[in-house]
Amino acid sequence: MSTSVIYEQSQLHTLLKAHTGDLHRQLDSHYSISILMSANLSEKSYASVLLTMLCWYRAIGNALVTKLNLARDLPFYEAKDLLIEKDLMALSVCPKALINSPANALAIPAKSSLFYLGMLYVVEGSALGGMVLGPRVAKQLGRGDVTAFYQCYGKNKTRNFAQTLNYITRQINENDVPEEAMDEVLSGAAFAFTSLLQVINDNQ
């Protein structure tokens, strides 16, 4: 194993945040996402956001489960699409309405497991956002039964995300060329953001 570079967990997080920062800000400022923080949020607009997110989480989640051994390596992992479906059902919206959605054709590139680890970083990082968004959405809608997605992992959000970062860091450092492995992870994280933006735009 190459000893030219050994990445620390904190370094990985810093590099990923820097690499995806512009995309993250672009996503947060998109109307379809920023509405979640708006005082104008309604059940209808919230359901619309959830339907869009379901398209993405379903495609990305299937790829992660197929390409990574999450049940073995990260046994706490929860499928986000199932939680979103629960929220949609509480809003009396049938997720099956997505079957013919063009976003379901989202193409996930055939890459190494490291690329998918970058995608995993974004998916699990999104759970942290629930610490802020969940209570805000519940308060705005006056309902506590439509935020299962944001309650993913409960009080263990931070701990589980740290374990995910630790796992990704180890996979990078165990690679023969850690620098190249890091590049793959960064590419996967960037793809996760760009593909989500694609799904949002396709569903407008």
Residue ranges in the chain assigned as alpha helix (H): 9-29, 31-34, 43-67, 70-73, 80-90, 113-141, 157-173, 178-202
**Domain parsing of the chain, residue ranges:** 9-202
- CA-based torsion, 60, 66, 72, 75: positive or negative: positive
The topology (CATH level 3) of 9-202 is: Heme Oxygenase; Chain A (1.20.910)
Query: According to the model, what pLDDT value does residue 102 have?
Result: 47
pLDDT 10s digits, 146-159: 999 999 999 999 99
pLDDT 10s digits, 88-119: 999 998 766 555 554 456 888 889 999 999 99
Is the overall model pTM greater than 0.85, yes or no?
A: yes
Q: Which of 63, 147, 59 is nearest to 98 (CA)?
A: 59
Q: Which DSSP symbol is given to 30?
A: S
Query: According to the model, what pLDDT value does residue 4 have?
Result: 66
Query: According to the model, what pLDDT value does residue 26 have?
Result: 95
pLDDT block averages, 10 residues each, the chain of length 204: 76 96 94 91 95 91 93 95 94 70 68 96 93 94 96 95 97 94 98 94 80
User: What are the angstrom distances between the C-alpha of 189 and each of 28, 30, 103, 146?
Assistant: 16, 19, 19, 28
Q: Which of 204, 152, 201, 200 is nearest to 54 (CA)?
A: 200
Query: According to the model, what pLDDT value does residue 1 have?
Result: 44
